[in-house]
């Protein structure tokens, strides 16, 4: 059992939990994720690791209620436990493996949309811990849905906040802030990391491609099973088929076929859609063991 050390609501339908998981906390790196199960019969829920405390032996997860399983998770409180927490899974962010002195020569821009602020946070924290100042853009639909502002402000070199409705700081989309920083303020970036809803990442990549900024995205939003067996997170990156949970979750955003991924994501939500995808993709439907039967 994995004890919940803290449980709180960050915003409407968005929750944060600190979970006792010493082995995961000791090994995890920015970009990786865990699979959480509430009980033996519970759904497997892949969640990016938002934060970790190696000394305390805990990890932090942030999730938004989007279905029955996450609704049940939201009811859990401090002192309750998860039946299982598996991880760390996926691949760590590429910069973790780069030479620190070379990284210090690069200028990073992190762009977070909505709940995507959670996976961006550990990356920005890692950068600060290694003496690298980065610029961060955080976008939300409205002020009430903004999360982790204070925590992010402590780690970011410069933090730019924007809300779709103008209820807090800037008004507009994160793409408009990217353009403003580069075109109006003369900022130059070597790498952009954009994490958030698929539609946000798609348009962020269109802007950064136009501006000539290499961009990394996290395709955690399309994951379902988290092991490559269900086929839900199958995506086309360049001319290759990838699975977000086993090959990612981070990819070159300028090579991701977002239109295909989003269409597939919608189809996977229905039983009929899953059947169509399984028939259409045959033996390549899944990316795992090959024995799961795709949508079974």
Annotated binding site for FAD: 62-64
Q: What count of other Cβ atoms lies within 10 Å of the Cβ of residue 72?
A: 14
Question: 18 - beta bridge partners?
Answer: 6, 60
Quickly tell me which residue has 């991924």 as its tokens: 261
Q: Are 194 and 202 in contact (CB under 8 A)?
A: no
Question: 36 - beta bridge partners?
Answer: 45, 85
Please enumerate, by residue number, every residue annotated as part of a binding site: 62-64, 230, 233, 245
For residue 264, count CB atoms less than 10 angstroms from its CB and return exposed for 0-12, middle for 13-18, buried for 19 or more: buried
Please enumerate, by residue number, every residue annotated as part of a binding site for [2Fe-2S] cluster: 230, 233, 245
Helix, strand, coil tally for the chain in percent (to 5): 35, 30, 35
Before 249, cis peptide (omega within 30)? yes
Backbone angles phi, psi at 31, to 5 degrees: 100, -20
Dist. CA 124–CA 152, nearest whole Å: 8
CA torsion 189→173→52→63, rounded to 10°?
Answer: -150
Question: Is residue 126 helix, strand or coil?
Answer: helix
């Amino acid at each position: 059992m994995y004890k919940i050390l803290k449980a709180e609501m960050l915003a409407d339908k968005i929750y944060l939990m600190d979970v006792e998981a010493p082995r995961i906390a000791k090994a995890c790196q920015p970009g990786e994720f865990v699979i959480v199960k509430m009980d033996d019969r519970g759904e497997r829920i892949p969640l990016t690791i938002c934060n970790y405390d190696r000394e305390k032996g805990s990890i932090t997860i942030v999730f938004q209620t989007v279905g029955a399983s996450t609704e049940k998770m939201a009811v859990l409180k401090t002192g309750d436990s998860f039946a299982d927490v598996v991880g760390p899974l996926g691949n760590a962010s590429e910069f973790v493996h780069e030479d620190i002195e070379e990284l210090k020569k690069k200028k990073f821009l992190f762009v977070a949309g909505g709940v995507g602020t959670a996976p961006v946070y550990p990356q920005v924290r890692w950068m600060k811990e290694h003496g690298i100042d980065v610029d961060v853009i955080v976008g939300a639909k409205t002020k009430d849905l903004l999360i982790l502002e204070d925590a992010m402000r402590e780690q970011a070199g410069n933090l730019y906040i924007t809300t779709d409705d103008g209820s807090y700081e800037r008004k507009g989309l994160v793409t408009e802030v990217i353009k403003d920083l580069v075109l109006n303020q003369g900022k130059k970036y070597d790498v952009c990391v954009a994490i958030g809803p698929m539609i946000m990442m798609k348009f962020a990549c269109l802007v950064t491609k136009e501006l000539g900024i290499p961009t990394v995205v996290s395709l955690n939003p399309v994951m379902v099973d988290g092991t490559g067996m269900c086929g839900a997170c199958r995506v086309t990156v360049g001319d290759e088929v990838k699975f977000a949970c086993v090959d990612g979750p981070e990819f070159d955003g300028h090579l991701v076929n977002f239109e295909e991924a989003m269409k597939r994501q919608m189809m996977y939500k229905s039983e009929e859609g899953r059947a169509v995808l399984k028939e259409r993709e045959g033996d390549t439907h899944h990316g795992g063991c090959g024995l799961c039967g795709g949508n079974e």
